[in-house]
Amino acid sequence: MRLEQVELKAANPLLNSYQQQGELVSFFHYEQTQQAFEQRLNDLKQHPVRREQLSNIIRDFMAPYGLSQKDEQHLAELAKNAVAVVGGQQAGLLTGPLYSVHKAITVIALANEQRQKLAVPVVPVFWIAGEDHDIDEINHTFTSELQKVTFGEKTKHKKQASYTALDRVALAAWVTDIFTSFGETAYTKELLAGVLAEVERATTFTDFFVRLMHGLFKEHGLLMIDAADEKLRLYEAPYFEALIDHAAEIANVVTARETHLVELGYAMPIGATEDAANLFYTEDGARYLLVHKDGKFLNHAANVHFTIEEMKAEARAGHLSNNVVTRPMMQDMVFPVLSFVGGPGELAYWSTLKEGFEVLGMKVPVFTPRLNITMVTSHTQALLDGLQLTVKEALEGKVDDLREAFKAQVYDKEAQQTLETTKRLIEQQYAELHEHLIAHDLHVNALVDKNLNFHKSQLDFMMRKIEQEVLTKHEVAMRRFGDVERDLLPLGSFQERTYTPYPYLNNYGMTLIDDLVALPYILDGRHQIVYL
């Protein structure tokens, strides 16, 4: 396994501005420099955390999945004086897209790096958004042939992932079908058996996600917690009360900041409004977004309306959850967050939160963009060698340029020229026919035009068939372009947005994750290319 780091222009303008120390940096309290980490560490000395209680909550959550020696070490450090690097994701099936794994790798890599540089305990934490209720975002995956395979029917009731029960028999069949699409290797039998064993134990989407992610990362001490965990929600009660007290202020400043972001030409990430409570009320696994009007917290669909004191009582009962605005604030109140690791989407909405954090007397932690990792198989490397392309060039879209050049090279230009000449001659003859008909006062020009268009369409059809025949003749050569794109840029985006890690685990074994974690990443915004 070999690592290469290359500069790719960020397709996301917000990410590009942030990484290039542009205007977006002012939307945060810290830049992404080592001095900023040192300053954040110093600022965290004033950050109150009920450490022992928090450590016990995480321990209770993780215990059913089995605690490794590294997990125990990090829990003990968190109970004393450790700071945390935090990242998170929704509870996708088969871990969801690869970027879930890449976030975890980034969290671990950054925690290890800052542990060395700051000479203090820094623990990696993965915050699972189990309270998210859009199951249709997480109930599918893609095969290596880019077929989208969905588990179950489209959901009618929006229930939180942590409260959505799984049909184990149906899930086992779904997982088996997915693995069949990967093809049989020396690792398939053991890998599939391990996943199916977790299916047998899993109860919800979140539970299944944690089982797989913990299995991949437990030896690296990745601490995991579910935002929907009942003990955590009760622990968060005083923090929810602070969010309730400052709901109007937070909504106002976030809306103003988002307006400023749009004025600078960036897309609107949240759609913030001044009447947003930025909190959900939860009931029987469902959750309802609240608005804040005239001192009341309301949701008409759920037929609920709370006063401030009633809202605080609901917080103490564990009946509230966060949205995209308050989740980062809650994470910062719960954990001593040295840095948050996120992708471009998270950067967008975090860029609206600076004044919201200030309302609560906090600062936005150092925001670290997650690693972008592309894995290159030996088969894909061989194809690239044959095309005389580098991985960097392929990721920059050069495959399509080469494909078009190849098509032009093998295209039957003589046939094309003959047909174009035929078309011009026909048009010339029909033009003469038009003049003749007009001269003799014969009113059939519409019929003539229709007939001309018919002949021209037939010539175009013939040209397309010739082109198809030529491409079929060169099908093997043409397939190279599609194979490279399907591996490196499936559906037009990086592979990490489409594939789960399991096709790669199926080909390279379970040690693949440990090998990826061990690579010497430099967190400087460059794209990580891993040659397998």
pLDDT of residue 380: 95
H helix count then E strand count, the chain? 23, 15
Per the structure block, which two tokens stand in for 124? 């990696």
Count Cα atoms within 13 angstroms, Cβ side, for 322.
28
What region, left, alpha or beta, does residue 226 occupy, with left being phi > 0 and alpha being psi -120 to 50 degrees? beta
User: Has residue 113 been placed in a domain?
Assistant: yes
Do 273 and 367 have their domain in common? yes
Do 255 and 345 have their domain in common? yes
pLDDT of residue 67: 97
User: Has residue 320 been placed in a domain?
Assistant: yes
Q: Is 43 helix (H, G, I), strand (E, B) or coil?
A: helix
What's the rounded Cα separation, in Å, for the pair 462 and 532? 45
User: Has residue 376 been placed in a domain?
Assistant: no
Quick: pLDDT tens for 17-39. Answer: 888 888 889 999 999 899 999 99
Do 354 and 404 have their domain in common? no
Do 337 and 427 have their domain in common? no
Per the structure block, which two tokens stand in for 248? 């109007």
User: Has residue 24 been placed in a domain?
Assistant: no
Looking up tokens 């937070």 gives 250
What DSSP designation does 159 have? Answer: B
User: Has residue 9 been placed in a domain?
Assistant: no
pLDDT of residue 90: 93
Last residue of a domain, one of 371, 389, 418: 371
User: Has residue 11 been placed in a domain?
Assistant: no
Do 356 and 504 have their domain in common? no
Per the structure block, which two tokens stand in for 34? 């080592």
- pTM beyond 0.85: the answer is yes
Do 68 and 146 have their domain in common? yes
Domain holding 460, by residue range, is 398-488
What's the rounded Cα separation, in Å, for the pair 344 and 142? 22
Do 105 and 183 have their domain in common? yes
- Where are the strands (E) in 23-139, listed by range? 83-89, 122-128
- Contact assessment for residue 511 and residue 191, using Cβ atoms and an 8 Å cutoff: no
Q: Burial of 358 by CB count in 10 Å (0-12 exposed, 13-18 middle, 19+ buried)?
A: middle
pLDDT of residue 405: 79
pLDDT of residue 463: 67
Per the structure block, which two tokens stand in for 364? 């936005």
Do 221 and 72 have their domain in common? yes
Which amino acid belongs to residue 229?
A: D
Domain count, the chain: 3
Do 281 and 254 have their domain in common? yes
Last residue of a domain, one of 321, 354, 371: 371
Do 429 and 508 have their domain in common? no
What's the rounded Cα separation, in Å, for the pair 123 and 284? 34
Q: Describe the chain by its helix, strand, coil percentages, rounded to 5.
A: 60, 15, 30
User: Has residue 81 been placed in a domain?
Assistant: yes
Return averaged pLDDT per consecutive 10 residues of the chain, 532 residues in all.
Answer: 90 86 91 95 94 98 97 98 96 96 98 98 96 88 91 77 93 96 96 97 96 96 96 97 97 96 92 95 91 93 92 96 96 98 94 97 97 96 92 92 75 62 77 78 77 78 68 67 92 95 96 96 94 96
User: Has residue 29 been placed in a domain?
Assistant: no
Which amino acid belongs to residue 290?
A: L
pLDDT of residue 414: 62
Do 514 and 464 have their domain in common? no
Do 155 and 198 have their domain in common? yes
Quick: pLDDT tens for 405-418. Answer: 766 765 556 656 66
Looking up tokens 């050049």 gives 405
